[in-house]
Chains A and B, each alone.
Chain A
Amino acid sequence: DTAVSQTPKYLVTQMGNDKSIKCEQNLGHDTMYWYKQDSKKFLKIMFSYNNKELIINETVPNRFSPKSPDKAHLNLHINSLELGDSAVYFCASSQGALQPQHFGDGTRLSIL
């Protein structure tokens, strides 16, 4: 009965590869997010979707492409992975823009 679940939990891959992270929420929320947390624990928003539509794109390289097949899912596809992409990526959801966001447990991406 996990509220926000993301897979995989760990992702180790080589530079230049393409990978995807999946996120699903069962809270019935309209808004979903992707955040990146660096090694210093700094948490920065990447994207926000409301009802499958992109509403926030925070100067993220276009190698990152979010896809929302329905309002319960927001997947993140990353092309041509670079060393600097190594981080923990969190998916979150909320009922609305200024409502508490519920986070998944993160995907730790390590680029070799």
Chain B
Amino acid sequence: GESVGLHLPTLSVQEGDNSIINCAYSNSASDYFIWYKQESGKGPQFIIDIRSNMDKRQGQRVTVLLNKTVKHLSLQIAATQPGDSAVYFCASNAGNMLTFGGGTRLMVKP
């Protein structure tokens, strides 16, 4: 999940399993949330976003869940593939600015 610690949290999953990456945010006024995937040597790539008037949004193989009560966001990846291996970041807004979480490394075992 979101972390400001000294190392990246790592989630290791078997290929074909579902992955769930969690994120906590702190600003109760945040109303826009977004997930990014960052592969080695590349910039963050947009996956999916959600606004605070929704609690669930689905994309292709991905679902974002938003729980505003506990200020929690999760990204679910169905049938995880080796190409999903990357660092995943959540971000939430503070006014017109995005604040990024510390990232979670997803490792997919073949």
Chain A interface residues (CB < 8 Å from chain B): 4, 40-45, 48, 55-56, 58, 90, 92, 97-98, 100-106
Assess the B46–A101 pair: CB atoms within 8 A: yes
From residue B25, how far is it (CB to closest CB) to chain A in Å?
14
Q: Which residues of B contact A101 (CB under 8 A)?
A: 34, 46, 98
Contacts A90-B44, A98-B93, A104-B43 aside, 11 further interface pairs with beta carbons under 8 A come to: A40-B7, A41-B87, A41-B103, A42-B100, A43-B44, A44-B100, A92-B43, A98-B31, A98-B96, A100-B34, A100-B49
Selected from B32, B34, B93, B100, the residue in CB contact (under 8 A) with A43 is B100
Tell me the bound Cα distance from A45 to B94 in angstroms: 12
| 4 closest Cβ pairs, A-B complex | A103-B43, A97-B96, A98-B32, A100-B46
With a cutoff of 8 Å between Cβ atoms, the chain A residues found around residue B4 in the complex are 42
Say yes or no: B49 contacts A40, CB within 8 Å. no
Enumerate chain B residues within 8 angstroms of A98, measured Cβ to Cβ.
Answer: 31-32, 51, 93, 96
A-B contact count (CB 8 A): 56
A102-B100 in contact given A40-B6, A41-B87 (Cβ < 8 Å): no
Instruction: Name 28 A/B residue pairs within 8 A (Cβ), A-sorted.
Output: A4-B43, A40-B102, A41-B103, A42-B100, A42-B102, A43-B44, A43-B89, A43-B100, A44-B100, A45-B98, A45-B99, A48-B97, A55-B96, A56-B96, A56-B97, A90-B44, A92-B43, A97-B93, A97-B96, A98-B31, A98-B32, A98-B96, A101-B34, A101-B46, A102-B46, A103-B45, A104-B43, A106-B43
